[in-house]
Amino acid sequence: MARRRGGRSPARVRLQGLERMRRDLDGLAAVVMEGSLAAVEASAEAVRAGTRARVRVRTGNLRDHVGIYYARGGLSAKVGWKDRTDWYATQHELGTRRIPAQPALGPAIEEERTKFEDRLRAEINRRLPS
């Protein structure tokens, strides 16, 4: 059995406000989830707007049918074309032997990728109690 040095008694610590901290931490998960959902939605909208601004327009079909498809309870979003009438979007995006590539979706995603972390941080901070 170990002896105490110098006969001193062990240090004692009293935590005050532990219940309040526990309540605040319980509410934090909901705040983070709410902020995350808002950030994903705002980013998906920004990608869709950027794609619409860049896409080739002949009939307006590709521009008008850029869709947002949410998954995992809204924490994941896919932006693009899913209709049967939009099959040629890939050809415009990647190009063919005769049609040069004119990407619209890729640049919009890359532009938003640099902004997402700041957008997420801002959305969560806006919802945190001061």
C-alpha to C-alpha distances, 84 to 47, 71, 106, nearest whole angstrom: 21, 21, 21
The pLDDT of residue 71 is: 96
Residues in the chain: 130
The pLDDT of residue 3 is: 59
Domain residue ranges of the chain, discontinuous segments joined by +: 19-127
Predicted confidence (pLDDT) per residue in 25-55, tens digit? 888 989 999 999 999 999 999 999 999 999 9
pTM, full prediction: 0.79
Whole-number average pLDDT of the chain: 90
